[in-house]
Amino acid sequence: MKRRSLLAGIVAAGAVPAVAGCSSGSARTSVAGAQLAAASGHIVEGTAITEVFGDGQKLTTVALEYDTEIDASKLSPASFKVTDRTVTNVYANTAAAKAGHGVSGRYVVIELSLMDEAARLYEDGFSGSSSSSQQPTASTSASPSSSATVSPPGSPSGGPGGGGGMKSPTLKTASAEVTQVGTVTTTGGDAYAANSAAITTSKVDNLIVDDFQQLKYTDADTGRSLQYNLFVPKNYDRSKSYPLVLFMHDGGTASTNPLITLTQGLGAVVWATPSEQAKHECFVLAPQFTGEDDEGSDGNAPALKTIKGLIDSLTGKYSIDRKRLYTTGQSGGTITSIALDFTYPDLFAASFLVAGQWDDLSQVKPLATQKIWAVVSQGDEQAYPGMTGIMDAIEKEGAKISRAVWDGQLTPAQFAPYAAQMRAKKTPVNFVALKKGTVVWPDLQENSVDNHVCTWRAAYTIEGIRDWLFEQRRK
């Protein structure tokens, strides 16, 4: 199955939306040229905090450092204005970080609405949009303490447009302009009066994303190079053995910027959240493909060999358990996973396949003896019949398969009993179709494209599937 044929169908069909996502981490990156205004009074520094959601990375919070501790009990959201943004909450903290509740400290944390148009930093690789509005929508995001937190980001504004074409996805640098328009009181009782001078944040804290290394691999046999992102468990101990999750992005995310695959949605970052790592400490590998030539989605043998070579190089360098290698991907990333599965049938312990397909069913026979959990949407006119065809083909080869149809807009908590019920059957292959009419977010179009992309908005929030993946082990 060539990825270009899948993308051609997507572009022809209309527009792609995007979900809500993931957070954690504490690394900071300086923003070149950003300076605080000299007349900003008692504010020492500003930090822009970003989080990745299923529909991409967004600027969600600003943390202002003051020259002394601020009284948390006397702060008001009305005391701050952020240009082009809606302030939703303000509290003090002892660090430049979000918190469940405020405590007096040197930092004032300003939370911002996810529905603001200016919140979005990531824009996908398609031109046009199925909906330019940003209405409130209930969707799932992962947070530092939980992978099942509900938040209301706006509907995505980017996607393949009717008659539009492919373009490079973009990622803006997070920056915010903040003005203290009301009085701020210190713990010592001093009143810092309003100041008309706006300050611009000078640091960025990209939650989860900053926890990945950006590296490059060159395969000695093929001569091909591949950029990739690597998450190493924070308490890595070479005396222990760790699983590895390989995530491969969709075709609309092809780019020369390695951060794109981390910021486009949940597929890569969800595995690196503190809550997920607490349960399943693992390495996360997320290659950044520049196009179909290095993806291997068309069965390109040198490309597939390069991806396998990268995995082999990491298992040689780190204490990674070769019996606990897992692959997952969305759309074209699933296509590449399928190609790897039948090209190297003994490589992965299990595969989590989201919104993908393969045309030549004679090639997928090796998947009959593998562990697979596939998720597609019934409204996806390519992936749904395509994955159904794969399931029918491997069932004829002897694969034992559990099949189910689920509501596509359930919360993670609501998905849990359905996933548990399917896991209890202990079949090596599980096939979930998200019911047509339940997948597409409000204000998006009920078409094949929006069903396609909204599939992975739901799929990567399902904790039970992620847990199932780590239960599998190659003999």
CATH code: domain of residue 202: 2.60.40.2180
The predicted structure's pLDDT at residue 217:
98
The predicted structure's pLDDT at residue 157:
26
The predicted structure's pLDDT at residue 128:
35
Residue 319 has pLDDT above 90, yes or no: yes
Q: b vs e for 451-467, b when ≥16 Cβ sit within 10 Å of the residue's Cβ? A: bbbbbbbbbbbbbbbbb
Do 456 and 348 share a structural domain? yes
* Residue 153 placed within a domain: yes
> What is the mean predicted confidence (pLDDT) over 302-320?
97
Do 236 and 166 share a structural domain? no
**Phi and psi angles of residue 72, each rounded to the nearest 5 degrees, phi first:** -65, -30
* Higher-confidence position of 127 and 154: 127
Do 298 and 269 share a structural domain? yes
Q: What is the DSSP letter of 152?
A: -
The predicted structure's pLDDT at residue 341:
97
* Higher-confidence position of 144 and 187: 187
> What is the mean predicted confidence (pLDDT) over 389-395?
98
Do 241 and 174 share a structural domain? no
Residue 21 has pLDDT above 90, yes or no: no
Do 274 and 137 share a structural domain? no
* Residue 365 placed within a domain: yes
> What is the mean predicted confidence (pLDDT) over 379-401?
98
Do 396 and 264 share a structural domain? yes
Whether the Cβ atoms of residue 271 and residue 284 lie closer than 8 Å to each other:
yes
Q: How far does Cα 1 stand from its chain's mean position?
A: 24
Average pLDDT of the chain is 85
Do 279 and 246 share a structural domain? yes
Residue after which a domain boundary falls, among 206, 222, 249: 206
* Residue 356 placed within a domain: yes
166 — pLDDT class (breaks 50, 70, 90): low
**In this predicted model, what pLDDT tens digit does every residue of 253-268 receive, in sequence order?**
999 999 999 999 999 9
Structural domains counted in the chain: 2
Residue 290 has pLDDT above 60, yes or no: yes
* Residue 22 placed within a domain: no
Residue after which a domain boundary falls, among 206, 238, 270: 206
Whether the Cβ atoms of residue 393 and residue 429 lie closer than 8 Å to each other:
no
* Residue 24 placed within a domain: no
Lowest mean pLDDT among 19-23, 50-54, 264-268: 19-23
148 — pLDDT class (breaks 50, 70, 90): very low
168 — pLDDT class (breaks 50, 70, 90): confident
* Residue 21 placed within a domain: no
Domain harbouring 250, CATH code: 3.40.50.1820
Do 65 and 80 share a structural domain? yes
The predicted structure's pLDDT at residue 293:
76
The predicted structure's pLDDT at residue 147:
36
The predicted structure's pLDDT at residue 149:
30
What is the per-residue DSSP string for 344-360?
STTS-SEEEEES---S-
* Residue 216 placed within a domain: yes
Residue after which a domain boundary falls, among 165, 182, 206: 206
**In this predicted model, what pLDDT tens digit does every residue of 151-161 receive, in sequence order?**
322 222 223 22
Do 35 and 152 share a structural domain? yes
Helix ranges (H only) for 241-348 are: 260-263, 266-269, 274-279, 292-295, 301-317, 332-343
Nearest to 331 by CA among 58, 16, 12: 16
Do 223 and 174 share a structural domain? no
Do 215 and 195 share a structural domain? no
**In this predicted model, what pLDDT tens digit does every residue of 278-287 receive, in sequence order?**
999 999 999 9
**Cβ of 80: how many Cβ atoms within 10 Å?**
20
**In this predicted model, what pLDDT tens digit does every residue of 211-251 receive, in sequence order?**
999 999 999 999 999 999 999 999 999 999 999 999 999 99
Name the residue range of residue 256's domain.
3-15+209-471
The predicted structure's pLDDT at residue 296:
75
* Residue 436 placed within a domain: yes
* Higher-confidence position of 338 and 145: 338
Residue 390 has pLDDT above 60, yes or no: yes
Residue 183 has pLDDT above 50, yes or no: yes
> What is the mean predicted confidence (pLDDT) over 388-410?
97
Do 214 and 110 share a structural domain? no
> What is the mean predicted confidence (pLDDT) over 156-176?
61
**In this predicted model, what pLDDT tens digit does every residue of 63-112 receive, in sequence order?**
999 999 999 999 999 999 999 999 999 999 999 999 988 999 999 999 99
Tell me the percentage of the chain whose pLDDT exceeds 70: 82
